[in-house]
Structure 1
């Protein structure tokens, strides 16, 4: 079977979408299928060597095309999305015919794939990591924008032969918007061969690491606001952000006024470097702004930290709390500055023991390995009609 995967982001870019689609591509190739990925050129910050390593895969062909990126190197915003989506329509239309197409949000891409798939009479699978129209509404986007995004998203979902949802909450919402029950649950996972307690570690002061996207709806500012209280108790404590996101500029501005010397911002790095940062930390940080429609989410950064043996501190409510408590892989507190400060102090006060790190990492290996989730997603792609 010939499978085409379309996404504006793919390995080696350090993002949940890139990880899960890479795992899916690998699982399909391992099952004997021909896989072609239509994606974008990697940002310059990742380096040509990393991009070449992925392109050189003999089992998965990765076809990259130019795209508009913002100043931070991300494909974010409607014009950058269209700079990928419009050429994608013709790439699909004139490429050798695939037996299946797999696509990711944004809904503009899903809509373009639906059009091209209809013309080529090819079933497609929509990999729904979240619900973009709900996210747009929760962040205060203008009503006409929300209505248009929802219109696109409904059509992308309704035309899909199968929809893969990453949480129960997403699955429920997708059924409502798509108007069908062709929805399968495949939770996010993490690469437990890269994110592992074994490997390089950096020495230094007690550090908390937030590794991944910083968007407004994640509310990572709560960690920045907590740092003055933390520093009063642990003067050499450090907070490190690794990655980009729409909220980064505001986080940097806030940090400069509260704890300039104790908070560091690093650009996105390959997964192995992110793993080193997490492995070297005493706690990995994850947050979700409560009450704006994302309580159902379980961010992949939660599993990435725990897979490195680093306990997680989650600020927020919802599904992530249940995951952390069931696995015993960290602590969840309210999205409140005082609560977060107290939990940070406790986490930074002492280094997790080797036994604790092993146990935390083993739980992720058993319950959230991306190899297992990739294989499960591959079965859904195979059965799509």
Structure 2
């Protein structure tokens, strides 16, 4: 099978999508296939981390990035999607295309798929038209995004959903395209247990936007640190300028700027080392929006690194932790006092080295990314075969 992976992000860039797509490429190559990644040129710093893999070809083009160096925002997406039409039109045909969000990229692939008669599978890791409600009140933008997303989803040969709650939300849009739940997990070749000195740190890895509602962690940490001096809270990831400014303002008001830092996203190898030494990771989901179906996939990487998670909010992440005591993790209500109490509980009884090793092994056995990638490749292979 010759597979195109079409995505604006790909390894070794930071982010769950980049890691997952890399695992899909590896699984395809392991089964004797070839992979062509049609994507965006990474920053020079990230490009230096790429390792050439036999069977994988990168076809990358320059794109517009925001001030933080990420392809995020309307203009940034368009800088990738508009030239993509021509790039896909002239490149030698594959057997099948696997496309990553945003929906505008899916729409471009849908057009080329129709013109060149190439089947495509869309990765529905999220429902963008729902997530956008936390970022804008513009009815025009929301209606347009919903139309484009439905167009991309409906024309796909098949959808790959990461978890059932997303598949259910896709159905709520009126999309009836066949959907496979591939699951998700940790890239255990990267995220695994290493015995390192533990630091008095909580880490929030990944994105923190309006829909995550991570600002409550600032309030919670202030309460916690008043009784537990010496701890730090590190946000390692991306945000929107407004949300980050609001959180930084709150930090300054509380006078705890030496204890809370906002750091850029790092490549997975580097993040794994940070997780190995943290007392726990933090994750939140804003319960006051319409995004309670989302799952915080970042927790898998944390658990695979032997680092427990404190999650605050509703939805499938809370249910996962509650139903899996082996995760050694904690669920708290989306409330600063409750989160602070949970942080104190973790700080008083941190996992031992043996417990962290056990947690990492349990995660690798039950929630490895390879399993999700193998399921995805099996569906891609079947769709390519059926099309032929």
Q: How high is the TM-score relative to the length of structure 1?
A: 0.95
Cα pair 1:190 1:303 within 8 Å, conserved = yes
Deviations 1:297-332 (A, max 9, x none): 222211111111111100101100121122222000
Pair 1:211-2:168 in alignment: no
Distance 1:255 1:194, change over 3 A: same
**Alignment-derived partner of residue 221 in structure 1:** 215
**Alignment-derived partner of residue 296 in structure 1:** 293
Cα pair 1:11 1:19 within 8 Å, conserved = yes
Distance 1:244 1:322, change over 3 A: same
Pair 1:32-2:26 in alignment: no
Matches within 5 A, 1:132-171: 132-171=128-167
Distance 1:33 1:322, change over 3 A: same
Question: Of the candidates 92, 95, 98, which is equivalent to residue 99 of structure 1?
Answer: 95
Q: Which moved more, 1:360-369 or 1:111-120?
A: 360-369
**Alignment-derived partner of residue 379 in structure 2:** 380
Instruction: Please state whether the residue corresponding to 1:216 is helix, strand or coil.
Output: coil
Q: CA deviation at 1:178?
A: 5.2
Q: CA deviation at 1:41?
A: 1.1
**Alignment-derived partner of residue 324 in structure 1:** 321
Pair 1:188-2:187 in alignment: no
Q: CA deviation at 1:138?
A: 3.9
Query: Aligned partners of 1:265 and 1:227: how far apart in 2?
Result: 14
Query: Aligned partners of 1:73 and 1:218: how far apart in 2?
Result: 21
Pair 1:16-2:16 in alignment: yes
Pair 1:116-2:115 in alignment: no
Question: Of the candidates 233, 236, 240, which is equivalent to residue 239 of structure 1?
Answer: 233
Query: Aligned partners of 1:130 and 1:12: how far apart in 2?
Result: 21
Note the residue ranges of structure 1 that are not aligned, 5 or more in a row.
none
**Alignment-derived partner of residue 359 in structure 2:** 360
Q: CA deviation at 1:140?
A: 3.7
Query: Aligned partners of 1:127 and 1:297: how far apart in 2?
Result: 15
Cα pair 1:157 1:177 within 8 Å, conserved = no
Q: CA deviation at 1:101?
A: 0.6
Query: Aligned partners of 1:382 and 1:156: how far apart in 2?
Result: 20
Q: CA deviation at 1:213?
A: 1.2
Note the residue ranges of structure 2 that are not aligned, 5 or more in a row.
none
Q: CA deviation at 1:114?
A: 0.3
Instruction: Please state whether the residue corresponding to 1:141 is helix, strand or coil.
Output: coil
**Alignment-derived partner of residue 173 in structure 2:** 177
* Coordinate RMSD, CA, aligned: 1.5
Q: CA deviation at 1:220?
A: 1.1
